[in-house]
Structure 1
Amino acid sequence: MARSSWFSRLMGWDKHPRHHHDFHADWIRDDRRRQVLFRDLVLPQYRNENIQSAIPAAEVTKVALKLRHLIELAVPCELDEEEITKAHSKIITTKVIKAAKEAGGSHYRSCVVFCLVVCKRWFKHQALVELWDADMHRVRAVACEVVAKQIIETEDDFEYLMHSVLLRRYSIIVDGEATPPANVVEKAVDLHAVRVIGSSGYQKCISYLWKGWLVQDEDDPAVFIDYKDKDNTSFFVHMDPDRIRAPMYQNATQVIISFVYIGLYTAVINSVNPTGVFDTAEVLLYIFTLGFICEEVTKFWKAGYHILGFWNAFNSVLYSFITLSFILRIIGLTHQQGDDTREFYSKMSYNFLAFSAPMIWSRLLLYLDSFRFFGAMLVVLKVMMKESIIFFALLIVLVIGFLQAFIGLDFADDWVADDILFILQAMANAVMQSPDFDGFDKFSPPFGIILYYCFTFIIMVVLLNILIALYNSAYEDIYGNANDEYLALFAQKTMQFVRAPDENVYIPPFNLLEMLVICLFWWMEKSKFERMSDIIMGIIYSPVLLIAAWHETKMAGEIRSNRARGEEDDDTIEEWEQMMDQVDFEADGWNKLCISAKTNLEADPTITEVQKLRGEVEELKKLLVDMTKALSSGGEVEPSQASTLIDVAEPEQSESKTKKKKKGKKSKKDKKAGGEGNASASSSSSDEE
Structure 2
Amino acid sequence: MDREHQSLLAPSPEFLASVKVFPLIPSLKKDVIKTIDSTLSWDQLTASDINFSIVRPIVAKYARLKNMAVVYACLVVRSYFLSESESDLAYAGVMQSRATLCEILAMKLLSRFASNHIQLVAVLTTRWNPLAGAAFEIVEQVKHSLGGDEEDMDAPQSALEMAISTQAKAFLSSPVSQKVVNDIHYGRIVFTVSANRSILSDNYKPKAIELYNSRTSPFIDHYRLRVPVYGAILEFLNFALLLLSLVLCLSNQDKAKLTPWEMIFILFAGAFTLEEYTSSTEHGWIIYMANLWNVFDFSFVAIFLGYLMFRIQGLHHNDIEASTLAFDILSCGACILFPRLAFFAVSNNVVILSLRAMVSQFVFFIGIAAICFSGLLFTLWTLGKDQPNDPWTFKSIAWLLTQIWFGNSSLSFSVASSFHPVFGPILMISFAALSNTLLLTILISLLSNTVARIDANATQEYLFQFAISTMERVKSDALFSYQPPFNVLAFMILKPASFVLSPRALHSFNVFLIKLTSLPILIIIGLYERYFAAGQRLRESGIGAAQSLFNSLPRHIKNMPLVEALVGSTTNELYEAIFDVEISSEFEFFEESDDEFHTLRSLHSRENLRLPPSPTPRRQKRPASIDPPLRETPQRNSPRSRAISSLSPLAPVAPEISASSARSPLAMLFGQRMASPTDPHTVASVEASVKRIEALMEDMRDLPVQRLNDEMKELQDRQARIENLLLVLTRGMRNETSRHDAIP
TM range (shorter): 0.5 to 0.7
Q: 1:595–1:130: structure 2 CA closer, same or farther, 3 Å change rule?
A: farther
* Distance verdict in 2 for CA 1:529–1:590, change over 3 Å: farther
Preserved CA contact (<8 Å) 1:186 1:495: yes
In structure 2, the partner of 1:473 is 449
Structure 2: stretches of 5+ with no match in the other structure: 1-11, 143-152, 196-202, 540-571, 604-639, 648-744
Single out whichever of 77-86 and 392-401 deviates more from structure 2.
77-86
What residue identity is the alignment partner of 1:279? T
The 1:422/1:128 distance shift into structure 2, 3 A limit, reads: closer
Following superposition, the deviation at residue 259 of structure 1 comes to 0.7
> Given the alignment of the two structures, is residue 407 of structure 1 paired with residue 381 of structure 2, yes or no?
yes
Question: Structure 1's 334 and 148: CA in aligned 2 closer, same or farther, altered over 3 A?
Answer: closer
Residue 719 of structure 2 corresponds to: none
| Counterpart check, 1:433 vs 2:433 | no
Deviation at 1:431, TM superposition (A): 1.5
CA pair 460-267 structure 1, distance change in 2 beyond 3 A: same
Alignment counterpart, residue 283 of structure 1, candidates 258, 263, 268: 263
Deviation for aligned residue 1:49: 12
Alignment of 1:110-149 (within 5 A): 110-128=68-86, 131-149=89-107
TM-score normalised per structure 1 = 0.65
Alignment partner, residue 92 of structure 1: 51
Per-residue CA deviation, residues 374-423 of structure 1 (Å, 9 max, x unaligned), is xx445434433453465234422332211122122223433984444432
Q: Post-superposition shift, 1:258?
A: 0.4
TM-score scaled by length of structure 2: 0.61
1:467 and 1:188 map into 2 onto residues whose CA distance is 30
- Answer whether contact 1:120 1:141 (CA < 8 A) is retained: yes
Mapped contact 2:81–2:95 kept (Cα < 8 A): yes
Q: Which residue of structure 2 aligns with residue 484 of structure 1?
A: 460
SS in 2 for 1:110: coil
How far did residue 429 of structure 1 move? 0.4
* 1:465-522 alpha-carbon deviations (Å, 9 max, x no partner): 2222222222212221111111111111222232534476334432211122223444
> Contact (CA 8 Å) 1:253, 1:544: kept in 2 or not?
no
CA distance in 2, matches of 1:118, 1:276: 56
After superposition, the C-alpha distances for 1:266-308 in whole angstroms (9 at most, x for unaligned) are 2233x33567544332211111112223344445666665567
Which residue of 2 is the match for residue 582 of structure 1? 581
Identity of aligned residues (%): 20
SS in 1 for 2:373: helix
Is the contact made by 2:314 and 2:323 (CA closer than 8 Å) also made in structure 1?
A: yes
In the alignment, which residue of structure 2 is the partner of 1:215?
190
2:490 & 2:88 partners in 1: Cα distance?
Answer: 51
Partners of 2:426 and 2:515 lie apart in 1 by: 70
Secondary structure in structure 1 of the residue aligned to 2:208: strand
Q: Which residue of 2 aligns with 1:23?
A: none
Cα deviations by residue, 1:632-688 (Å, 9 ceiling, x for unpaired): xxxxxxxxxxxxxxxxxxxxxxxxxxxxxxxxxxxxxxxxxxxxxxxxxxxxxxxxx
Equivalent of 1:102 in 37, 60, 73: 60
* Within-5 A mapping of 1:355-394: 355-364=332-341, 368=345, 371-373=347-349, 376-388=350-362, 391-394=365-368
Counterpart in 1 of 2:215?
A: 232
Q: Does 1:64 align with 2:45?
A: no
Whole-Å Cα distance in 1 between the matches of residues 533 and 119 of structure 2? 23
Query: Could you tell me which of 183, 197, 207 is aligned with 2:158?
Result: 183
How far the C-alpha of 1:197 sits from its partner, in A, is 0.8
The question of 1:537 aligning with 2:514 is answered yes
Question: Cα distance, 1:186 vs. partner?
Answer: 2.2
What do residues 163-215 of structure 1 show as CA deviations (whole Å, max 9, x unaligned)? 45333444546992387543322222221111111111211111122223333
After TM superposition, the structure 1 = structure 2 runs for residues 517-596 of structure 1, keeping only pairs within 5 Å, are 517-518=493-494, 519-524=496-501, 526-554=503-531, 558=535, 580-583=579-582, 588=588
Partner residue of 1:204? 179
Shift in Å, 1:79: 4.1
CA distance change for structure 1 residues 584 and 383 in 2, over 3 Å: closer, same or farther? farther
- Could you give the per-residue CA deviations for residues 100-121 of structure 1, whole angstroms, max 9, x where no partner exists? 4431354435344334334433
Equivalent residue number for residue 55 of structure 1: 19
Measured at CA, do residues 225 and 584 of structure 1 come closer, stay the same or move farther in structure 2, by a change above 3 Å?
Answer: farther
| In structure 2, C-alpha distance between the alignment counterparts of 1:275 and 1:291, rounded to whole Å | 23
Would you say the 8 A contact 2:121–2:180 is kept in 1?
no
Task: Specify which of 259, 266, 270 is matched with residue 240 of structure 2.
Answer: 259
Residue in 2 that maps onto 1:83: 44
Q: Is the CA contact 1:214–1:226 (under 8 Å) kept in the aligned structure 2? A: yes
Correspondence list, 1:143-182, <5 A: 143-153=101-111, 157-159=115-117, 161-172=119-130, 176-177=138-139, 180-182=155-157
Moved more, 427-436 or 210-219: 210-219
Q: Note if contact 2:185-2:228 (Cα within 8 Å) is conserved in structure 1.
A: yes
Q: 2:422 aligns with which of 443, 446, 462?
A: 446
5+ long unaligned stretches in structure 1: 1-47, 563-573, 603-615, 624-689
Q: In the alignment, is the contact (CA less than 8 A) between 2:59 and 2:105 conserved in 1?
A: no
Q: What displacement does 1:140 show?
A: 4.0
1:209-243 CA distance string (max 9 Å, x none): 22233333588989973446524178xx2322222
Is this contact kept in 1: 2:44–2:50, CA < 8 A?
yes
- Quick one: higher RCO (CA 8 Å, sep 6+), 1 or 2? 1
Q: CA deviation at 1:463?
A: 1.7
> What is the CA–CA distance in structure 1 between the aligned matches of 2:591 and 2:388, rounded to whole Å?
94
Counting matched residue pairs gives: 533
Amino acid at match of 2:219: H
Q: Aligned to 2:485, what secondary structure does the other structure show?
A: coil
The answer (yes or no) to whether the contact 1:384–1:475 under 8 Å persists in 2 is yes
Give me the whole-angstrom Cα distance separating, in 1, the residues matched to 2:288 and 2:601.
Answer: 50
Q: Which amino acid aligns with 2:223?
A: D
> CA 1:462–1:590 in 2, change beyond 3 Å: closer, same or farther?
farther
Cα shift readout 1:598-617 (whole Å, capped 9, x = no counterpart): 99999xxxxxxxxxxxxx9x
Q: Say if 1:379 and 1:106 are closer, same or farther in 2 by CA, change over 3 A.
A: same
